[in-house]
């Protein structure tokens, strides 16, 4: 079958890191990712089925991997070679469609009794992601045994599949997985009078939509770099959308804060949802969150150097926000349908044009796009 495969090749990985720094997404041309003819993955055990991707999204974490920006933290919880792609809508042998819940939980690893987290439904906290009968992998798309969405065939455990209603298009369904991350963030946040969402890429925009649907938020201010992002952020529920460099002033104005020195605010928003995950965005989050407030990291951060004096002094908190549970996923399915989130899918590519696809995804904002995906529906080796 045809698959994009990511191999453990340190020299190529280093080359991708250099290329990716020069042009985002360029790691795909020189790095350890390549289009191959490979055998379809074997079914690991009972309960696993063949799953044929129809659309598979390109996520920020995929881009970090391809451009050599991934943290070494992931080394013990991925296994090589793997086929990326964890935002997947596909079909089963009986022709029915499903979206993939990519988190590889105790159930998928045939671990019984399940870990404490899986037992309580917190599958994103699974404590056995490198154990059981599967090779290590926090999610499908990072595990050698499961394959991934950037191919014509992968395997999925029955617990990972959520049926897609007939009236939901593939273009909408492929947005369900990232939407579930946003829903998780919204439910974690709960209620807040003022919220700032940093970043208006896919995750930022979905988070705005999820906050409006599943949290009770008063004033929501968002940052967006590009005109299309600004438009969508407004459409999806942001009260005010500002350029990244304007956030401090916007929050000051919204909260009536005073300013110390050049940019330290005396007050801030109740919660910041950081959908970027860079050192700059986290620092900005800490700048604009109120004393005692929380910065929720939804975007995947990596190595980060930060001055945490303010965090200490203002007793603010940084909290991670990874993936989702099954409730989040079900809610995401509704949100995608109700809010017409398929509009965020900007372009699709066949696997053959993967370098273009990845460069487009890495530069989506500047090109007026949001989500880029691979379209496997017309691939010959289905």
Partner 1 sequence: MPRPGFVLDVDRSTPPILFHHGEGFRLEKLPAGRSRVLYPAEPLAALDDVDAAIRETLLHPLDSDPLPALLRPGMKLTIAFDDVSLPLPPMRRPDIRQRVIEAVLDMAAAAGVDDVHLIAALALHRRMTEDELRHAVGDRVYDAFAPQGALYNHDAEDPDNLAFLGTTDQGEEVEINKRAAESDLLIYVNINIVSMDGGHKSTATGLASYRSIKHHHNVRTMQHSTSFMDRHHSELHHSNWRMGEVIKNAGVKVFQIETTINNDTFGQSGPMSVLAKREWEWTGRDRATFVAMQAGLKRMKGSTRRKIFNGWQAPYGVTSVTAGAVDPVHERTLAHCFEQHLVEVEGQTDILTLGLPYICPYNVNSVMNPILVMCLGLGYFFNMYRGRPLVREGGVLIMTHPTPWEFHPVHHPSYIDFFEQVLADTTDPIEIEQRYEKQYAEDEWYRHLYRTSYAYHGVHPFYMWYWGAHALQHLGKVIIVGGDTRAVRRLGFKSASTLNDAFEMAEDVVGRHPTITHMKNPPILMADVT
Residues in contact with partner 1 by the rule CB under 8 A: 240, 242-243, 246, 249-250, 252-253, 256-259
DSSP track, 96-132: -EEEE--B--TTTTT-SSPPHHHHTT-GGG-S-TT-T
Minimal distance in Å, beta carbon 257 to partner 1?
A: 7
Taking the complex as a whole, the smallest distance from the CB of residue 259 to partner 1 amounts, in Å, to 7
Q: Is beta strand 191-198 parallel, antiparallel or unpaired with respect to 269-274?
A: parallel
Nearer to partner 1 by Cβ, of 95 and 256: the residue is 256
Cβ contact 280:289 at 8 Å: no
- Given the complex with partner 1, which of 10 and 256 has the nearer CB atom? 256
CB of 252 to partner 1, least distance (A): 7
Minimal distance, residue 227 CB to partner 1, in Å:
12
Min. distance of Cβ 241 from partner 1 in angstroms? 9
CB of 368 to partner 1, least distance (A): 17
Residue 97, token pair as written in the block: 């469609």
Separation of alpha carbons 284 and 277, rounded Å: 11
Q: Is 301:145 a contact under the CB 8 Å cutoff?
A: no
Nearer to partner 1, 259 or 308 (CB): 259
For the bound state, the minimum distance from the C-beta of residue 109 to partner 1, rounded and expressed in Å, comes to 51
Instruction: Please state, in angstroms and rounded to a whole number, the distance separating the CA atoms of residues 340 and 200.
Output: 17
User: Which residue, 252 or 360, has its beta carbon nearer to partner 1?
Assistant: 252
Our CB check for partner 1 shows the closer of 76 and 227 to be 227
Are the C-beta atoms of 323 and 179 separated by less than 8 Å? Answer: no
Q: How open is the CA angle 299-304-306, to the nearest 5 degrees? A: 110
Nearer to partner 1, 158 or 253 (CB): 253
Q: At closest approach, how far in Å is the CB of 258 from partner 1?
A: 5
Reference 232, options 241, 244, 245, 221; nearest CA is: 241
Q: Which two tokens stand for residue 162?
A: 């959520």
Toward partner 1, which CB reaches closer, 110 or 246?
246
Q: How far is CA 315 from CA 260, 294, 297, 365, in A?
A: 17, 9, 17, 34
Exposure string for 43-53, b = 16+ CB within 10 A, e = fewer: ebeeebebbbb
Residues 185/214, Cβ–Cβ less than 8 Å: no
In the structure encoding, which two tokens stand for residue 49, read together?
Answer: 């089925």
Which residue lies nearer to partner 1 by CB, 230 or 371?
230
Which lies closer to partner 1 via its Cβ, residue 7 or residue 246?
A: 246
For the chain, where are the alpha helices, taking DSSP H only? Answer: 10-22, 27-30, 60-66, 116-119, 170-173, 176-189, 202-214, 227-236, 247-255, 279-288, 309-314, 326-338, 354-362
Cβ burial 200-233 (10 Å sphere, 16+ → b, else e)? bbbbbbbbbbbbbbbbebebbbbbbebebbbebb
Q: Which is nearer to partner 1, 120 or 253 (CB)?
A: 253
Provide, rounded to whole angstroms, the least separation between the CB of residue 304 and partner 1. Answer: 28
Smallest gap, in angstroms, from Cβ of residue 249 to partner 1?
5
């Amino acid at each position: 079958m045809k698959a994009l495969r990511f191999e453990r090749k340190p020299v190529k990985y280093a080359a991708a890191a250099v290329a990716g720094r020069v042009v985002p997404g360029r790691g795909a041309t020189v790095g350890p990712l390549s289009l191959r003819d490979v055998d379809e993955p074997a079914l690991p055990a009972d309960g696993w089925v063949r799953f044929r991707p129809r659309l598979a999204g390109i996520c920020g974490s995929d881009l970090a991997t391809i451009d050599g920006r991934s943290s070494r933290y992931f080394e013990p919880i991925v296994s090589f070679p793997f086929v990326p792609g964890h935002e997947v809508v596909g079909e089963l042998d009986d022709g029915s469609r499903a979206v993939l819940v990519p988190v590889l939980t105790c159930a998928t690893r045939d671990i019984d009794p399940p870990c404490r987290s899986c037992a309580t439904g917190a599958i994103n906290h699974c404590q056995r992601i490198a154990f059981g009968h599967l090779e290590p992998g926090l999610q499908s798309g990072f595990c050698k045994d499961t394959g991934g969405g950037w191919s014509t065939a992968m395997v999925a455990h029955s617990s990972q599949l959520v049926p897609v209603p007939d009236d939901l298009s593939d273009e909408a369904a492929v947005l369900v997985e990232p939407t579930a991350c946003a829903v998780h963030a919204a439910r974690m946040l709960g209620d807040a009078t003022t919220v700032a969402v940093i970043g208006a890429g896919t995750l930022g925009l979905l988070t705005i939509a999820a906050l409006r649907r599943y949290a009770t938020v008063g004033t929501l201010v968002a940052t967006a770099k590009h005109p299309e992002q600004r438009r969508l952020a407004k459409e999806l529920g942001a009260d005010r959308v500002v350029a990244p460099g304007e956030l401090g002033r916007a929050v000051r104005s919204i909260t009536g804060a005073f300013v110390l020195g050049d940019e330290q605010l005396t007050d801030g928003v109740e919660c910041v949802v950081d959908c970027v995950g860079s050192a700059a965005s986290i620092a900005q989050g800490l700048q604009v969150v109120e004393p005692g407030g929380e910065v929720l990291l939804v975007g995947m951060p990596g190595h980060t150097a930060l001055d945490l004096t303010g965090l200490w002094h203002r007793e603010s908190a940084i909290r991670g926000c990874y993936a989702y549970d099954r409730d989040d996923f079900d809610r995401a399915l509704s949100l995608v349908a109700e809010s017409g989130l398929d509009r965020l899918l900007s372009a699709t590519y066949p696997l053959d044009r993967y370098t273009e696809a990845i460069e487009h995804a890495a530069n989506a904002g500047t090109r007026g796009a949001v989500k880029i995906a691979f379209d496997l529906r017309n691939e010959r080796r289905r």
